[in-house]
Amino acid sequence: MKDRGHLLTEQRNIRSNSIDLMTIEEGFDVINYEDTTVASAVAAAKPQIVAAIRLVVGAFGAGGRLIYVGAGTSGRLGVIDASECPPTFLSDPEMVQGIIAGGREAMFRSMEGEEDKVQSGADAIDQREVGTDDVVFGIATGGTTPFVHGALRRARERGAKTVFLACVPEEQCEDDADVSIRVITGPEVVTGSTRLKAGTATKMVLNMVTTLSMIQIGKVYENLMVDVNTKACSKLVDRAARIVSTVTGMNRSQALSLLNKADGKVKTAIVMHLRDIDYKTAEEWLTEHKGHIRSILES
């Protein structure tokens, strides 16, 4: 068993040394202050995060996938980010995937021992038949998770591009990924509990990666969710109607009627109205322009 005491995420935070003696209000202030430092830590890793996003956009353009790999909190955050893409961007559920050590059961109950299984990480990559068009994004906030490193190693062997996200400096824990993202959030309020600042940083980075990648492939027009899945629930139908109204100037009733004619597809509805064309032609134009509304409207 290796001594991980040198890792930054395992160090003690001097500001919370006496948190067990503090009032709830004082403890709140300590945690809240520490949380305010996370955004600047993410900003410092901008070049690497942008490089990772470019890899993901390239993968999507080639028909490939983004596959997150993690254990514990890191794995859960990857699964959550992946699961939120289809309703938000109408993306194929296979396009962004999350692998967590221990599988589905580990989403709901801690299975800490699973993170030590290097071969299980490699097997998970083989099971998904990872290939050269894919990006495998390993998340290990403390930098050492064997399951994640096993997955990344196998992904490289299979020709995939790789990204590694950790909250410790490279000199404390190296990796061989194509892009290494290091978000240095520092010692946690509760020593070693990386579900805190490191978890918050992970959520911010993953949100950035999928959101900006989806924007780049035409899933957003202006700042509107124009590929929202209207088949999912009434809330998203309502949102879709408001988006169509915003872009076209239609009232709500007209927008809903147009959406119905467009089979619930927001982009198709917008193009049909603003270019005064039928459903079939709008679909053809969207295919020709790779789903980018702006390029249709400005051409």
pLDDT of residue 47: 98
**Does residue 115 belong to any structural domain of this protein?**
yes
Single residue among 182, 216, 250 that ends a domain in this structure: 216
123, 255: one domain: no
141, 73: one domain: yes
100, 32: one domain: yes
Rounded Cα distance, 158 and 171, in Å: 27
pLDDT of residue 113: 86
Q: What angle do CA 238, 240, 246 make, to 5 degrees?
A: 105
Rounded Cα distance, 43 and 36, in Å: 12
Residue-averaged pLDDT of the chain: 95
DSSP state of 261: H
Residues annotated as catalytic (active site), given as ranges: 84, 115
82, 175: one domain: yes
97, 202: one domain: yes
32, 125: one domain: yes
**Does residue 2 belong to any structural domain of this protein?**
no
**Does residue 224 belong to any structural domain of this protein?**
no
In the predicted structure, residue 3 carries a pLDDT above the cut 80: no
In the predicted structure, residue 1 carries a pLDDT above the cut 70: no
Mean pLDDT of 130-136: 98
Distances (CA, A) of 30 to 20, 188, 189: 12, 11, 8
**Does residue 227 belong to any structural domain of this protein?**
no
Rounded Cα distance, 111 and 14, in Å: 30
CATH code of the domain covering residue 127: 3.40.50.10490
Contact by Cβ (8 Å): 139, 74: yes
What letters, b where the CB count within 10 A reaches 16 and e where it falls short, cover 243-253? bbbebbebeee
239, 208: one domain: no
Question: The dihedral of CA 129, 96, 214, 196: what is its sign?
Answer: negative
Q: How confident is the model at residue 7 (pLDDT cuts 50, 70, 90)?
A: confident
Q: Could you please report the per-residue DSSP string of 200-245?
A: HHHHHHHHHHHHHHHHHTTS-BTTB-TT--TTS-HHHHHHHHHHHH
Single residue among 183, 216, 249 that ends a domain in this structure: 216
Tell me which residue of 181, 87, 94, 180 sits closest to 134, measured CA to CA: 94
- Domain range for 153 is 8-216
Tell me which residue of 211, 205, 206, 161 sits closest to 183, measured CA to CA: 205
Single residue among 187, 216, 245 that ends a domain in this structure: 216
**Does residue 225 belong to any structural domain of this protein?**
no
167, 254: one domain: no
Rounded Cα distance, 40 and 220, in Å: 26
192, 247: one domain: no
Mean pLDDT of 210-237: 93
The CA-based diameter of the chain, rounded to the nearest angstrom, is: 69
Q: What is the pLDDT of residues 238-260, one digit of tens each?
A: 999 999 999 999 999 999 999 99
Provide the whole-model pTM.
Answer: 0.92
Q: How confident is the model at residue 80 (pLDDT cuts 50, 70, 90)?
A: very high
Rounded Cα distance, 28 and 46, in Å: 29
**Does residue 99 belong to any structural domain of this protein?**
yes
265, 184: one domain: no
70, 135: one domain: yes
In the chain, the number of structural domains is 2
pLDDT of residue 8: 82
Distances (CA, A) of 66 to 17, 19, 90, 108, 118: 40, 40, 15, 23, 21
Mean pLDDT of 99-108: 94
Q: Could you please report the per-residue DSSP string of 75-124?
A: HHHHHHHHHHHHHHH---TTTEEEEETT-GGGGTS--GGGGG-HHHHHHH
Neighbours of 234 (CB within 10 A): 8
243, 182: one domain: no
